[in-house]
Structure 1
Amino acid sequence: MGERVKNQKTTEEIALGIRRRVFEHSMRNNGGYLSQACSAAEQLAWLYNEALNLGEPTMPMIPPPFGGVPAPGNDDYVTGAGYNGPFEPQYDRLFIAPAHYALVAYATLIETGRMAAEGLEMFNKDGSSVEMIGAEHSPGMEVHNGTLGIGLSTGAGLAYGRRLRGEPGEVCVFMSDGEVQEGQTWEAIQACAHHGIDNVWAIMDVNDQQCDGAMSSVMEVRDIATKMRAFGATVVEIDAHDLDAMRQAKKEPHEGQPLIILAHSSPTHGMSFLQKRFPRLHYVRFKSEQERDEMNVSIAKELGIDPVQFDTH
C-alpha cells in the first residue's frame, strides 16, 4: 500500500473523484467540509492536473506523523509542500490560502496520485500531520496561513524573490472570497501592481459563503472585480464549474500586474441536498441519523455511487 501511481485521469474525473471522496469521508465521520468540495473541486483538479508545473512529489505517499515545529535540534522538520513537488527554479509553487479547505486539498492529492488514500484516514487524528485545518506540515501546504487573508501576500513575496533570482517558475495562490474582507489582501494586490510582480496569479473560489453564513450577512463586499482592478490587478470572472472558461482565463495577458481569476461557484454543486442547509454550509454536521441517512442516499445517487456503509450504533 502507498505505492505511487501516475495519474492518468481527466480533470473532470478528478473533480468528481474529489467530491466523492469528501462525501464518503464526511458520511463516515459524522460531518465534513462538503460545500467546499462542491464549489472548489474543478478549481483544485485543474490546478493540479493542468495549470501548474509542479514536478514529482518528494514526500512519502503515506504522510508521516507530526514532526514538531521548526526549532533548534529539530533537523528533520519538513513542510507539506513536498507533495506539490521539489523546490526547484523551473517548477511552480502553490499556496492554499483557506486552510479550512484542507479536506478537499487532501482528496485532490489522492485523486492526482500524490498521496495515498490511507492519508485521509489520518485526518484530524492526534499526532497526525493531516490536520483538519491545514498547517505548514500538512500535505500540500507550504506555510501556515494563520489569520485568513495572508495567502496572497505570502505568494506575492515569494514571487518577488523568484523574479529577483531569475527563476522561471510562477507562484499560484488558491483563495476564497472571504479573504477580501481582510485589508492585507488589498495591500498585496497594490504591492504587486506597484512592483510589477506579474509572476504571481490567483484563483478565488467565490461561493459567497463563510464560517458564519452568507458573505453578505457577515460583511458586504460589493463588486470585488471592480475593486481589484482599481487596486491594480488584471481580473477575469468565470463560472467555476466551467473548465474551458478556466483554461481560457489563465491565458489573459497581465504584464506588470497580478492575474486574479474570480471563479463564481455553487456551494451545493453536485450535492443538491445541501440546499436544505443553506446558508449555513461551512461545516456540515448531521442533525439526526434520519438526516444522515437521507443525505447519504440522495447525494450518493447524484454522484453516481452506492450509498456509504457505516455503523449506526
Structure 2
Amino acid sequence: MQNERTTEDVALGLRRRVFEHTIRNNGGYLSQACSAAEQLAWLYNEELKLGDPTLPMIPKPFEGVPAPSNPGYHTGAGYNGPAAPEYDRLFIAPAHYALVAYATLIEVGRMAPEGLEMFNKDGSSVEMIGAEHSPGMEVHNGTLGIGLSTGAGLAYGRKLRGEPGRTWVFMSDGEVQEGQTWEAVAAAQFHGIDNLCAIMDVNDQQCDGAMDSVMAVGDIRRKFIEFGATCVEIDGHDIQAMRDAAKEPHDGKPLIILARTSPYQTMPILEERFPRLHYVRFKSPDERARFNTSIAADLGVDPVEYAH
C-alpha cells in the first residue's frame, strides 16, 4: 500500500496521537514518542517493503492463545501485510513502545483510529505492553533483550529458503544490558545472517531511570562491531541519516543502526520529569493542565479536551 504523506508528517502525527492519548488517559509513553517517532515513521512510511494489511482496520478482540482447539487465533502481524517471501518482516523488540507503534499504524493507514480507543481495555488485543496478538506484533517480546534473537532466527530461516525479504528489528538501548543481545549478534555474524537489520532507539533512558545510573554500557557501537555486526551511529531524528545508514554495505553481517535521540524531542517540558521518564502519569490536575498547554503549543495543536 502507498502512503503519500511525508515521513516528517507521519512522525508529527504519531506524536500528536500519543500526546492526546496521554492527556485524556492521565498517563502514557510520551518520551518514547519523542525519541522514536522518526524511526518508526521512516520504517513504515519508507523503508519496509510490506503488503496490504490482512486484518480488519478496527482490531478484533483478544481471541485466546494459539492452540489446535482455537482456530480463530491470530497474531497482529497481519497489520504489516502477508508473510510472503518477497516482503519484509518487522519485530518491535521493546514491547512498551506499543502505544507509539499503534499510533504509527494509524498514521500510515494500516489501522483505524478507533483502535487506539481500545488501548489497555479488558478483552482488547490492543495491549498496553504489546503481545503477539497486538496490532503490528508477531511475537511476544516483553522479556527485555529477546527481540534481536527472534529476528535473527527468522532471518536465518528466510535466508536458507532463499527468500528476498529482509527482517527488521526495532530495538531500545536498554537491551544492550542483556547478554542475549550480544549472543544474537555473534550468532548472526557466524551464520552470515546479513538479511537482518536493526535500528535502535538510543535515548539513554530505561524504566528505572537514566541508563548510566542503572548500568553503564560504554561504547556500544564499538561492542557491536567487535561482536561481528556492521554498526552505524546517526542522529535518530535525522530521516536522511536513516536512509543513508540503511544503504551501508554489510555482506555476511547484520546491520545495526544506532539512532541517538532525545527523550524530550518536541516536548521539552518532559525534562521536568528526568530521570523518571519511562511512563508519564500526572501528579496533580495542575501538572496535567500545564503539560497539556505546553506540549500542544510545541506540536502545533489545540490543548486536548478531557474530563477533569
TM-score between both structures, scaled by the size of structure 2 = 0.99
SS of residue paired to 2:200: strand
8 Å CA contact 1:25–1:32 kept in 2: the answer is yes
User: What residue number does 1:86 align with?
Assistant: 82
CA distance in 1, matches of 2:2, 2:172: 29
For the pair 1:187 / 2:183, whether they are aligned, the reply is yes
1:285 to 281, 288, 298: 281
For the pair 1:22 / 2:18, whether they are aligned, the reply is yes
User: What residue number does 1:144 align with?
Assistant: 140
CA distance in 1, matches of 2:269, 2:117: 25
State the Cα distance separating 1:170 from its structure 2 match: 0.3
User: What residue number does 2:37 align with?
Assistant: 41
CA distance in 2, matches of 1:42, 1:232: 27
CA distance in 2, matches of 1:193, 1:169: 18
Q: Which runs of 5+ in 1 are unaligned?
A: none
State the Cα distance separating 1:76 from its structure 2 match: 1.3
For the pair 1:200 / 2:196, whether they are aligned, the reply is yes
Aligned partner letter, 2:139: V
2:268 to 260, 272, 295: 272
User: What residue number does 2:121 align with?
Assistant: 125
CA distance in 2, matches of 1:216, 1:91: 38
User: What residue number does 1:232 align with?
Assistant: 228
User: What residue number does 1:215 align with?
Assistant: 211
2:304 to 283, 293, 308: 308
Give aligned-pair identity as a percent. Answer: 76
For the pair 1:102 / 2:98, whether they are aligned, the reply is yes
How many correspondences in the alignment? 308
TM-score between both structures, scaled by the size of structure 1 = 0.97
Aligned partner letter, 1:241: H
SS of residue paired to 2:57: coil
8 Å CA contact 1:6–1:113 kept in 2: the answer is no
Residues 227 and 6 from structure 1, CA distance in 2 versus in 1: closer, same or farther, beyond 3 angstroms? closer
8 Å CA contact 2:129–2:142 kept in 1: the answer is no
Q: Which runs of 5+ in 2 are unaligned?
A: none
For the pair 1:60 / 2:69, whether they are aligned, the reply is no
User: What residue number does 1:257 align with?
Assistant: 253
CA distance in 2, matches of 1:232, 1:275: 36
Aligned partner letter, 1:301: A
User: What residue number does 1:70 align with?
Assistant: 66
CA distance in 2, matches of 1:258, 1:162: 14
CA distance in 2, matches of 1:54, 1:93: 8
State the Cα distance separating 1:6 from its structure 2 match: 5.8
CA distance in 2, matches of 1:145, 1:307: 34
Runs of 4+ with deviation above 4 angstroms: none
Per-residue CA shift, 1:31-88, capped at 9, x if unaligned?
1000000000000000000011011110100000000001121011110000001010
SS of residue paired to 2:169: strand
Per-residue CA shift, 1:197-234, capped at 9, x if unaligned?
00000000000000000001111101000011000000
State the Cα distance separating 1:305 from its structure 2 match: 0.2
